[in-house]
Chains A and B, each alone.
Chain A
Amino acid sequence: MQNELLTIQHLTTSFKIEDHYYAAVDEVSLSVKPNEVVAIVGESGSGKSALAFSIMGLHARAKSEGSIAFEGYNLNSLGPNELNKLRGKHIGMIFQDPLSALNPLMTVGDQIQEALILHQPNMSKKERKRKVIELLNSVGILQPDVIASSYPHELSGGMRQRIVISIAIANEPKLLIADEPTTALDATIQLQILDLIRKLKDDIGAGIILITHDIGVVAEMADRVAVMYGGQIVEIADIHTLLSDPRHPYTRSLLRSIPSADTPKTKLYSIQGVVPSLKHLPRQGCRFRFRIPWIGESSHEENPQMHELSPGHFVRCTCYQNFWFPGEEDIQNGAS
């Protein structure tokens, strides 16, 4: 396809645990167009961050297979130097854990300047300082001058997160990977950050990969949504279809757990069982089947494939056809 910004094909990223490699990202294919926001949601440990790190080429000790093409360049074939140049200048990443992304011994202002020096070496010192203040302003930091000369531990959780955001957008990347960019932020600042991301999209046509647990943020921003479970994409659709007609049992369960400002204070829905660890993740058959044991084995495919239900709406495995929630047996029996 000609106009894709990023095309990922059959990407598999594996981590070594006790001498064996286990895939945290398993045969994932995904593309992002310029000006498009693709959201990735999924259970904790489903491989969202691992996917993001793979695109950035930041996994030092993991094994990665498959292809990643950015603006037609195959990222796998670039050497470390070329990759470094591309990252930061054309691909920006907002890391999920701001504290580990920041250097504790350097003021945050210097860290933003560092990103600028690396990719815009011709900028004068004065210009750079002005740019730092401008960036901090744009992420809603009051007294940017004082904050720039603070160390990470002197800042609140949300302020640190915004520092990481200013570093990611400092060079106006064409692709922004935002991993939980607003979890530590209040609703008003969250909105400001989301607007900033939209602006990057509108002004320079950036493509965005937005990883988040917050379905509200997805509803606010996304054009398309990919749902991950156990290292695989289990459902993908445009935002309207995904929220109004979710099909995969995992997607439906996820959407059921949302507490919202206008639901009554009843018990929230949660998925049975625990998130499997990488080592113990079932890799044969439908990976979600152990979390919905009331659904008969025969409903699942032996080797679950993606099924296209309508243009662009794909669901993995056939179990979606026979899925119901506990307590809904009657409806199910009545219907069949």
Chain B
Amino acid sequence: MALLDIKDLKVHFYGRSGLLSRKKKPFKAVDGISFCIEEGQTYGLVGESGSGKTTTGRAIIGLNPLTSGNITFNGRDLTMERRRGKITFDRNIGMIFQDPYSSLNPKKRVLDIVAEPLRNFERLSPKKELAKVQQLLAQVGISADSIYKYPHEFSGGQRQRIGIARAIALKPKLIIADEPVSALDLSVQAQVLNFMKDIQKELNLSYLFISHDLGIIKHMCDQIGIMYRGRYVEQGSSDELFSNPQHIYTKRLLSAIPVKEPAEREKRAREREAIAEEFQTSYHRYFDQEGLAYPLQHIAGTHYAAAQGTGGR
């Protein structure tokens, strides 16, 4: 059985009106997505900006109430708790936030930041807590004498490691990592990604890995889901998606990956133009009247892609 099983997840927001029109409509940030994450695996979530990736992660951890759908985690049905909209953190789910600069409270010492989940879930004596925090910091490669320092005294990569130490404090089974390295420079990014892989093996962790960088996604993930306006357009293993993309949005996304050498600029520009044109001309085959993707259809193996419509308007 999968560690995390998401079925037909919907998260709608209410109460935004337009600049020109004042009518309020529910906004369907996540509109019926399903996926599973197996133990010890990394599941990548990519897609359009604003397509609902962060909202999905927040719904799983309990920061956004579900509108409908089911979440089963670690054999337990979390649906009812998550629907009620009250925040019920699960000690088996950790989260690494996108921004290492604002996700750590600047007024708290490293000790208090890392110990926070321990204080919420485990009652340890101060001595044991201190020992535990030191062990966690050692695990993420931060020296033990850092515990009384404040976040601003660390580099971006070190801060991200402190965030990871906090996320693994309760030995969770799943970590939701929302753009964990996008604010970091390449070398530090490499360091954090290597480290995330190491602790994954050590703790048999699963990751829900949200990123815009397809190079990183391919490097890290076993299975990948691609979102577009609240829905899935395609899902599959990294091989299936990168070598045999089916949906026009996936193709467009792959063609948009930056070139490696300036000499390729023109060739790539032509390829992109061709795909952009295909996007225009075949739009109604891939998207319904509201511009949303059709339900997924099985392609082969673990590969699914949004079905093609009849093309009518």
Smallest beta-carbon distance A261→chain B, Å:
5
Of A157, A214, A244, most B-chain CB atoms within 10 Å: A157
- In the complex, what distance in Å separates the CA atom of A156 from the CA atom of B216? 21
Chain A residues whose CB sits within 8 angstroms of the CB of B300 once the complex forms: none
Taking A161-B49, A219-B259, A220-B258 as known contacts, 4 extra A-B pairs with beta carbons closer than 8 A to each other, sorted by chain A number, are A42-B185, A44-B185, A156-B50, A187-B214
Given contacts A157-B54, A275-B157, contact A239 B262 (CB under 8 A): yes
Chain A residues whose CB sits within 8 angstroms of the CB of B291 once the complex forms: 142
26 intermolecular pairs with C-beta atoms under 8 Å apart? A44-B184, A45-B156, A109-B19, A148-B18, A155-B50, A156-B49, A157-B54, A157-B179, A184-B98, A186-B49, A186-B212, A187-B256, A187-B257, A188-B252, A213-B184, A216-B215, A216-B259, A217-B258, A219-B259, A240-B262, A254-B186, A259-B193, A261-B214, A263-B215, A265-B219, A268-B189
CB < 8 Å neighbour of B260 from A155, A156, A216: A216
Smallest beta-carbon distance A166→chain B, Å:
14
Of A132, A158, A186, most B-chain CB atoms within 10 Å: A186
Q: Chain B: residues with CB nearer than 8 A to chain A? A: 13, 16-21, 27, 46-51, 54, 98, 101-102, 153, 155-158, 179, 182-191, 193-194, 212-216, 218-219, 229, 242, 249, 252-254, 256-265, 272, 291
- In the complex, what distance in Å separates the CA atom of A267 from the CA atom of B187? 12
Smallest beta-carbon distance B41→chain A, Å:
13
Smallest beta-carbon distance A194→chain B, Å:
8
A180 to chain B: closest residue by CB: B183
- Determine if A184 and B49 form an interchain contact, defined as CB atoms under 8 angstroms apart: yes
Contact indicator per residue, chain A 255-276, by CB within 8 Å of chain B (1) or not (0): 0011111110101111100110
CB < 8 Å neighbour of B18 from A99, A146, A219: A146
User: Which residues between 26 and 69 of chain A lie within 8 Å of chain B, taking CB atoms?
Assistant: 42-45
- Determine if A146 and B19 form an interchain contact, defined as CB atoms under 8 angstroms apart: yes
CB < 8 Å neighbour of A185 from B212, B259, B261: B212
- Determine if B19 and A129 form an interchain contact, defined as CB atoms under 8 angstroms apart: yes
- Determine if B54 and A213 form an interchain contact, defined as CB atoms under 8 angstroms apart: no
- Determine if A258 and B18 form an interchain contact, defined as CB atoms under 8 angstroms apart: no
- Determine if B155 and A184 form an interchain contact, defined as CB atoms under 8 angstroms apart: no
CB < 8 Å neighbour of B49 from A149, A154, A189, A277: A189
- Determine if B262 and A149 form an interchain contact, defined as CB atoms under 8 angstroms apart: no
- In the complex, what distance in Å separates the CA atom of A122 from the CA atom of B44? 49
- Determine if A267 and B17 form an interchain contact, defined as CB atoms under 8 angstroms apart: no
Given contacts A157-B49, A157-B179, contact A150 B262 (CB under 8 A): no
- Determine if A259 and B216 form an interchain contact, defined as CB atoms under 8 angstroms apart: yes
CB < 8 Å neighbour of A240 from B54, B101, B229, B263: B263
A191 interface residue (CB < 8 Å to B): yes
Smallest beta-carbon distance A21→chain B, Å:
18
B29 to chain A: closest residue by CB: A156
- Determine if A157 and B98 form an interchain contact, defined as CB atoms under 8 angstroms apart: yes
Count A-side interface residues using an 8 Å CB cutoff.
64
Given contacts A265-B219, A268-B190, contact A132 B19 (CB under 8 A): yes
- In the complex, what distance in Å separates the CA atom of A244 from the CA atom of B260? 11
- Determine if B253 and A259 form an interchain contact, defined as CB atoms under 8 angstroms apart: no
- Determine if A186 and B102 form an interchain contact, defined as CB atoms under 8 angstroms apart: no
- Determine if A191 and B272 form an interchain contact, defined as CB atoms under 8 angstroms apart: yes
- Determine if B184 and A274 form an interchain contact, defined as CB atoms under 8 angstroms apart: no
Given contacts A189-B49, A270-B187, A270-B190, contact A156 B219 (CB under 8 A): no
User: Which residues between 218 and 264 of chain A lie within 8 Å of chain B, taking CB atoms?
Assistant: 219-220, 222, 239-240, 243-244, 253-254, 257-263
CB < 8 Å neighbour of A159 from B13, B50, B191: B50
- Determine if B256 and A259 form an interchain contact, defined as CB atoms under 8 angstroms apart: no
- Determine if B272 and A43 form an interchain contact, defined as CB atoms under 8 angstroms apart: no
- In the complex, what distance in Å separates the CA atom of A260 from the CA atom of B189? 13
- Determine if B190 and A259 form an interchain contact, defined as CB atoms under 8 angstroms apart: yes
Chain B residues whose CB sits within 8 angstroms of the CB of A146 once the complex forms: 16-19, 27
- Determine if A216 and B258 form an interchain contact, defined as CB atoms under 8 angstroms apart: yes
Smallest beta-carbon distance A287→chain B, Å:
15
B188 to chain A: closest residue by CB: A44
- In the complex, what distance in Å separates the CA atom of A185 from the CA atom of B49? 6
Chain B residues whose CB sits within 8 angstroms of the CB of A216 once the complex forms: 215, 257-260
- In the complex, what distance in Å separates the CA atom of A14 from the CA atom of B187? 25
- In the complex, what distance in Å separates the CA atom of A157 from the CA atom of B188? 22
- In the complex, what distance in Å separates the CA atom of A133 from the CA atom of B19? 9
Smallest beta-carbon distance B75→chain A, Å:
30
A162 interface residue (CB < 8 Å to B): yes
- Determine if A213 and B185 form an interchain contact, defined as CB atoms under 8 angstroms apart: yes
A76 interface residue (CB < 8 Å to B): no
Given contacts A44-B184, A265-B219, contact A260 B260 (CB under 8 A): yes
- Determine if A263 and B219 form an interchain contact, defined as CB atoms under 8 angstroms apart: yes
- In the complex, what distance in Å separates the CA atom of A162 from the CA atom of B48? 13
- Determine if A219 and B258 form an interchain contact, defined as CB atoms under 8 angstroms apart: yes
- In the complex, what distance in Å separates the CA atom of A263 from the CA atom of B214? 12
Chain A residues whose CB sits within 8 angstroms of the CB of B242 once the complex forms: 261
Given contacts A156-B49, A158-B50, A213-B186, contact A191 B256 (CB under 8 A): yes
- Determine if A156 and B212 form an interchain contact, defined as CB atoms under 8 angstroms apart: no
- Determine if B186 and A187 form an interchain contact, defined as CB atoms under 8 angstroms apart: no
- In the complex, what distance in Å separates the CA atom of A45 from the CA atom of B156? 9
- In the complex, what distance in Å separates the CA atom of A176 from the CA atom of B164? 36
Given contacts A43-B185, A183-B183, A275-B188, contact A214 B16 (CB under 8 A): no
A97 interface residue (CB < 8 Å to B): yes
- Determine if A268 and B193 form an interchain contact, defined as CB atoms under 8 angstroms apart: yes
Smallest beta-carbon distance B182→chain A, Å:
5
CB < 8 Å neighbour of A187 from B17, B101, B253: B253
